[in-house]
Amino acid sequence: MTEKLPPSLSAKFKDSFAYETIKDRLPVILAKTVDAVHRLKNDIKEQHGEAGMEDLKSINGKLSKLRNEVQTDKAIIPIHDGRLNFEVWNAYLEKITCDNDGRTPSWFQDAWLYVECYMYRRIQEAVEECKVLKTLDPFQGQKDQALLSSADAVSILMEFLEGILGNLPSMDDSKFRPLFDQFFELDLWGNKCDLSISAGHDNFQTESPIAMLDVFRSFLLVDNLNQMWDDLHKLNKRKDGSVRLDIVLDNAGFELISDMCLAEFLLTSKMVSEVHFHPKRFPWFVSDTTKKDFIWTLETCRTSDNKAMADFGQMWEERLVDGSWIIKEHDFWTLPHDYHDMETIAPDLYADLSKSDLILFKGDLNYRKLVGDRNWPHTTPFDVALRGFRPSALCALRTLKADVVVGLLEGQDRVACKHTARWMVTGEFAVIQYCEKKSQ
């Protein structure tokens, strides 16, 4: 007998953040995207002539139509752009329609996670169907500005890292463990910078991230760093330093810098020997990192007037050459499926992740896909909500921006609610949730 699962989060529940998202935030994101693309018209005309202007008109027309579909709760329609994964999306639509006894899913009636991901796939479809603008990233300007506007915080973090690495204690020294915690916490709180949660409005890191750690710590609902430290430290000793870390990336901008700084700290300390970064294959959820964003970030650092930024930019470009950093793209990260389905849908990716020693899943969307974006009781154990998804030891670093969270102690949700009724969606509260590798 199949275990009955909690219902998926959905806009059909009008008191939910899903309803607020579909009703208000997604139309705003689409309107801002149309505006951002339109502002490129002079550059596009200069580079591509009338063909570019026709593509621009096509993109904006399709996004305006999509916005109307969202607002009027139209039925979800198939993808037709011919991109490699379009058949997977259409098969998923057929499955949901079948599960709905023949009713085609729609924006306000079906799973929030699915329809929100579908919106970004439709944005990409509008680009894919162009003649000369097929590589356009409609969110590029917002992402670039997110990093440039966080320059002060980035330089503070990199100068801090440079100082630490210049006098780094060994991992067996008592002074090392607090640094380990600090860099994981910095990477966690970098996740507060998310352009989709702010519907594309400015959401930059402007304060010193190090100075804010003590303040943020009281908002950490689950902290499994002790268990992760114990397992990673023991593993390092057993494997004689040959340890692979995977980071499933979330936002470009300051958060990506915090990912890179954590990776550098763990590599220089020899806790890990290689880091595999997993970006999105095409623009996604406004600020999610693509390979292009990753490379641009390194170039921006390398050419900075700030010495620490320039030094690390140069070093990190060299790491891509020597193989201690590896960028890996895969279509699965932009499919509608929960990670519970990865072994079936993308067995090659699952097999690759199984070779990792620790997988970090960054941010809210990754968390929602880990736990299936369902209305779990908040005290549901994290490993239960994973529903068997355990390719290796894994850790979710996430600030809460959607009304789903598991692994809390009894009563923690009530305490958080006293701080703010919207405690699950503002990014103020966070979790570091770890699940050890399954025994063979």
Looking at 103, 128, 153, the residue that finishes a domain is 128
Q: State the pLDDT at residue 191.
A: 86
Distances (CA, A) of 117 to 68, 76, 388: 17, 12, 23
Q: State the pLDDT at residue 209.
A: 81
Domain total of the chain: 2
Copy the structure tokens of residue 395.
């850790």
CA distance 136 to 55: 10
Q: What does DSSP assign to residue 61? A: H
In terms of domains, do 78 and 171 share one?
no
In terms of domains, do 124 and 145 share one?
no
Which amino acid, one-letter code, is at 255? Answer: E
In terms of domains, do 72 and 191 share one?
no
Residue 162 lies in a domain: yes
Residue 104 lies in a domain: yes
Which amino acid, one-letter code, is at 176? Answer: F
In terms of domains, do 263 and 310 share one?
yes
Residue 4 lies in a domain: no
In terms of domains, do 156 and 215 share one?
yes
Distances (CA, A) of 196 to 32, 100, 199, 286, 328: 11, 29, 5, 6, 23
* Digit-coded pLDDT (tens) for 354-363: 999 999 999 9
Dihedral pair phi/psi, residue 24, rounded to 5°: -115, -50
Q: State the pLDDT at residue 236.
A: 86
What domain range includes position 52?
17-128
Q: State the pLDDT at residue 91.
A: 97
* Digit-coded pLDDT (tens) for 209-224: 888 888 899 999 999 9
In terms of domains, do 122 and 165 share one?
no
Looking at 96, 128, 160, the residue that finishes a domain is 128
In terms of domains, do 167 and 73 share one?
no
In terms of domains, do 106 and 184 share one?
no
Give the pairing of strands 358-362 and 244-248: parallel
Q: Which domain CATH number covers 59?
A: 1.20.930.60
Residue 389 lies in a domain: yes
Residue 110 lies in a domain: yes
In terms of domains, do 22 and 122 share one?
yes
What DSSP string describes 87-152?
HHHHHHHHHHHHHTTTPPPBTTTSBHHHHHHHHHHHHHHHHHT-SS-TT--TTHHHHHHHHHTTHH
Looking at 104, 128, 152, the residue that finishes a domain is 128
Residue 6 lies in a domain: no
pTM: 0.95
Residues of the chain scoring pLDDT < 50 = 1, 195-204
Q: State the pLDDT at residue 200.
A: 41
* H or E element at residue 430: strand 430-435
Copy the structure tokens of residue 370.
């880990």
Q: State the pLDDT at residue 210.
A: 84
Q: State the pLDDT at residue 202.
A: 45
Q: State the pLDDT at residue 268.
A: 97
Q: State the pLDDT at residue 211.
A: 81
Is the separation of the CB atoms in 358 and 232 below 8 Å? yes
In terms of domains, do 275 and 392 share one?
yes
Give the pairing of strands 274-278 and 325-327: parallel
Q: State the pLDDT at residue 193.
A: 61
Is the separation of the CB atoms in 374 and 403 below 8 Å? no
In terms of domains, do 166 and 314 share one?
yes
Give the pairing of strands 430-435 and 394-399: antiparallel
String of b and e for 128-153 (b: at least 16 CB within 10 Å)? bbbebbeebbbbbebbbebbebbbeb
Q: What is the 3-state secondary structure (H, E, C) of 77-98?
A: CCCCCCCCCHHHHHHHHHHHHH
Q: How many CB atoms lie within 10 A of CB 64?
A: 13
CA distance 432 to 154: 22
